[in-house]
Amino acid sequence: MSLKAQTIQILPAPEVKFPSVTDSNSPAIWKGGQLILFNAMGTPFRSHGSDQFNLGGTTQVNFGPGQPTPLWIEAAWVDSDGTIFAWYHHEPPGLCPGTSLTAPKIGALISHDGGLSFQDLGFVLVSGEPINCKAENGYFAGGNGDFDVLLDGSKTYFYFFFSNYGGDLASQGVAVARMPFASRSSPVGALTKYYKNGFTEPGLGGKVTPIYPAKVGWASAQVDAFWGPSIHWNTALKKYVMLLNHACCGPYWPQEGVYMSISPDLAPSHWQAPTKILSGVGWYPQVLGEGANQTDRRAGARSRLYVYGDSKWELVVSP
């Protein structure tokens, strides 16, 4: 298939599975010559190994007292001194009595021991829209969650691409926020959301203008929307690649397909219209690059494509 001048191939490959249960994006980092991977199903686990095909030593991640639960670590970054910064999706319980509906928030973490344990730095992205306990999508009554984080090439900003589940239809969809790189140790209040052509709204509360607006909103049982972006810099294309879930068109988010978009940079206005690359698979598409020091954030011409922690494919790209 062609994606506006780029050639994209999805090729069958011997099956590889993540070593722990997976229900979100699963970030990977390199530290001390080891690949470290985080998986979560409400409780994060850490695995490590020489590469993605030889991961083991799986242990539950430890947190300090008072850490919000359940949570999913969905993005991570390692500083030159070995400090790991990570960001999590949290689903607070009990928001809509008599239902299981929740409204996610996005928080920040820091680790000084290679990701064996983390300290909470607080919430950084929270919806300003009211909770809708009559929402019929089956899971969420609003909130900001299901996201990815990338640092731009100049190391000026971390960009957060997240799913906005509340508010009027025009504000629902895949939205963007950013945080100065220098604020990574003190992130609360440092994020701004993209709204009406600029990063002008606060991360805590704040309005959004999505880059991929929902066609049918999340309050409906017939929701039709993209969500859960996973993004990497592709060294072969010299462009950013975004993978997306597409929920359509019934309750409990039936996965209509996996979609891909490409952009020369992380600016919200430069992403192409998404193109379908897979049908009949589950949620949470992402890649792990096969080259040296490649991860879910950086991949080359060939990478393993995972969906729900299971890879049966290679993603092969060429300019």
**Mean pLDDT score across all residues of the chain:** 96
pLDDT tens digits for range 182-239: 999 999 999 999 999 999 999 999 999 999 999 999 999 999 999 999 999 999 999 9
Domain chopping of the chain, boundaries: 2-318
Query: Per residue in 31-49, pLDDT tens?
Result: 999 999 999 999 999 999 9
Binned at pLDDT 50, 70 and 90, residue 5 comes out as: low
Domain 2-318 fold is Tachylectin-2; Chain A (2.115.10)
Residue 7 confidence (pLDDT): 84
Q: What is the DSSP string of the chain?
A: -EETTEEEEEEEEEEEE-SS--SS---EEEETTEEEEEEESSSEEEEEESSTTSEEEEEEPEE-TT--SSEEEEEEEE-TTS-EEEEEEE--S-SSTTS--B--EEEEEEESSTTSEEEEEEEEEEE-SPP-TT--SSSBSS-EEEEEEEE-TTSSEEEEEEEE--SSGGG-EEEEEEEEGGGTTS-TT--EEEETTEEEEESEE-----SEE-SB-TTSTT-BEEEEEEEEEETTTTEEEEEEEEE-SSTT--EEEEEEEEESSS-GGGPPPPEEEE-S--S-EEEEE-STT--SSEE-SEEEEEETTEEEEEEEEE-
- Model-level pTM? 0.97
Q: What is the pLDDT of residue 319?
A: 86
